[in-house]
Amino acid sequence: MASLFDSILEADVGIRPQVSETPLELSVALSATAGCQVLLKCEHLQPTGSFKVRGSANKIRVLSEAARRAGVITASTGNHGLGVARAGSLSRVAVTVYVGTTAAPEKIAAIRTFGAEVITIEGPPIAAELEARRQAQLQGKTYISPYNDLDVVAGQGTIGVELARQAPELAAVFVSVGGGGLIGGVGTALQRMSPATRIVGVWPENSPCMLEALRAGAIVDTVEYPTLSDGTAGAVEPGAITFPLCRQVIDEYITVTESEIAAAMRTVATTDHWIIEGAAGVAVAGLLKAASGAYRGRQLAAVLCGRNIGLDKFLHAIGG
């Protein structure tokens, strides 16, 4: 059986040209503010506005013909569902997306534009995940987890391959953490290709589910509060494959407040003229928080994981 790293290398070839290699842009203004070289990995420039196209494209790519004919079911707060819907549309695979009641209406509307069916489940994102998995079993369809799937994690890990190619001297990469699929894949790739690069996980203080699991040594119930980082919100599924992955690859933990997330979003809009969503703001906030310490003068990257946020919510967050 191929290792996760081997699967990441295979995905790096296999998901092209459906998924582009995104730029790693130097932010001159952020670098001056932080006192180090700040690079921004522009996943918000992906066709759906999020890194989730990678894992989705890879999962659809490796499905058997029978599984493609049957169709797939997934659950999502928005970006993953959008990625699966796009990959399904390009590959002519029927997609059903289960969402919780907290999913952003803009993201749901975008999912429907790719022809996917959307089913709303009362309750938090974990309720939609569990119901989607149950329905997939009942209907004999493939369930595509937002993070609890090695093929999905391998797709996300292609970001790490690109970072290793684009910035061989990278001291650290800052990644927002929800279910752990993004940082699990990126960390796996960089540990092999750029072992000197530190993998820094960043969480909103209001939703630190994987962080609490890592601290406890097991997946535990965690109290959550509303957060701008809706893309990372929600409990970690019991038995998630990403839990041991995160334990293995994350070198440093950082938490950020809602005001720090909003400030990071405002800063990126001001300095680099990009609208980014809360989850991307989490990574930037973590970088800015850590830059003045041991990383001063070094080369750092933050993964701008997405841009899918409603304009009113964005303007409210940045005080516009």
Sequence-distant (6+) residues with CB within 8 A of 243 are 180, 210, 213, 214, 219, 236
- Give the mean pLDDT of 77-102: 92
Q: Which of 139-148, 219-228, 254-263 has the lowest mean pLDDT?
A: 219-228
Could you name the CATH architecture of 52-144?
A: 3-Layer(aba) Sandwich (3.40)
126 pLDDT more than 90: no
Q: What is the pLDDT of residue 320?
A: 62
User: Domain 4-51+150-318 class?
Assistant: alpha beta
Q: Give the residue with greater pLDDT, 224 vs 285.
A: 285
Q: What is the pLDDT of residue 1?
A: 55
- Residues 255-267: tens digit of each pLDDT: 999 999 999 999 9
- Give the mean pLDDT of 67-91: 93
Cβ atoms of 194 and 163 closer than 8 Å: yes
Query: Could you identify the residue written with the tokens 């391959």?
Result: 161
Domain residue spans of the chain: 4-51+150-318, 52-144
